A and B are shown apart, each in its own frame.
Chain A
Amino acid sequence: GAGVSQSPSNKVTEKGKDVELRCDPISGHTALYWYRQSLGQGLEFLIYFQGNSAPDKSGLPSDRFSAERTGGSVSTLTIQRTQQEDSAVYLCASSSTPPSEQYFGPGTRLTVT
């Protein structure tokens, strides 16, 4: 079946603009995770959804970051007033029965100029 998909694959934006990143998990996977990968910080957890609720949003770095999940499926990560330090690859993963394996999407590379 189809894997996790993310869009866009690449996004270049100007500092101060808002961006939305989208994640389509594997059908039927109830758990969805967002991570960020950057050269300086490695792989960092951002937020975890179980269904439409987020029991763990401890990794969101500031209140400029928010995420939602609707219908227990698609998730959107929104970054407001982007800063250069937001430049990174944003990875989404889904899982059928946490904490079993998570399946990752190809990521969105965000560049803030």
Chain B
Amino acid sequence: AQTVTQSQPEMSVQEAETVTLSCTYDTSENNYYLFWYKQPPSRQMILVIRQEAYKQQNATENRFSVNFQKAAKSFSLKISDSQLGDTAMYFCAFSGYGANSKLTFGKGITLSVRP
């Protein structure tokens, strides 16, 4: 079984600044996916970014990038130029292959962007 740990329950950042959200995971699998999902107060889960474990290059999506350290089982999310609309819960999640493709989530972190 795999586990996902997000140890910071909440963070705050000034608008336009950069913030990093931490995530560690544990698995015995070699091939898997990692994701960051965003859940604003509207409750809609939105995919922010994904990383395939066999790819060494860190994924980037506009202002969002990850630092994927496979050996350390670490997967942090960096948000650059933070915007008020980034205020939300952020969940780190793990997915295996085949019948193990369900998402295993961390407990989430509440991010507040201050104007």
B98 to chain A, nearest CB (A): 8
Encode contact with B along A13-30: 1 for CB under 8 Å, 0 otherwise: 000000000000000000
A98 partner, pick from B35, B42, B43, B101, beta carbons under 8 A: B101
With A99-B97, A106-B44 already in contact, the answer to whether A42 and B50 are too (CB < 8 A) is no
A8 to B105, CA, bound (A): 25
Contact yes or no, A89 B33, CB < 8 A: no
Docked pose: A55 CA to B95 CA in angstroms: 15
How many angstroms from the CA of A43 to the CA of B77 in the assembled complex? 19
Q: B1-17: contact bitstring with A at CB < 8 Å (1 yes, 0 no)?
A: 00000000000000000
**Chain B 26-52 interface residues, beta-carbon cutoff 8 Å to A:** 32-33, 35, 37, 42-47, 50
Query: Which of chain A's residues has its CB closest to B44's CB?
Result: A106
**Chain B residue at minimum C-beta to C-beta distance from A42:** B107
Range, interface on chain B: 20 to 34
Q: Tally A residues with Cβ within 8 Å of B.
A: 24
CB-contact partner of B44 in A43, A48, A56, A104, under 8 A: A104
- Main secondary structure, interface of A, reads strand
In the complex, the number of residue pairs spanning A and B with C-beta atoms less than 8 Å apart equals 59
Assuming the contacts A42-B108, A43-B91, A98-B97, asked whether A103 and B103 have C-beta atoms less than 8 A apart, the reply is no
Question: CB distance B50 to A101 under 8 Å?
Answer: yes
Q: Is the CB of A89 within 8 A of B43?
A: yes
Within 8 A of B (CB), among A53-84: 55-56, 59
- Once the chains are docked, how many angstroms separate the CA of A89 from the CA of B42? 12
Q: What residues make up the interface of A, taking CB atoms closer than 8 Å to B? A: 31, 33, 35, 42-43, 45, 48, 50, 55-56, 59, 89, 91, 93, 95, 98-104, 106-107
22 interchain pairs (CB within 8 A)? Answer: A31-B101, A33-B103, A35-B103, A42-B106, A43-B91, A45-B102, A45-B103, A48-B99, A55-B98, A91-B45, A98-B95, A98-B101, A99-B100, A99-B101, A100-B33, A101-B47, A102-B47, A103-B47, A104-B46, A106-B42, A107-B43, A107-B44
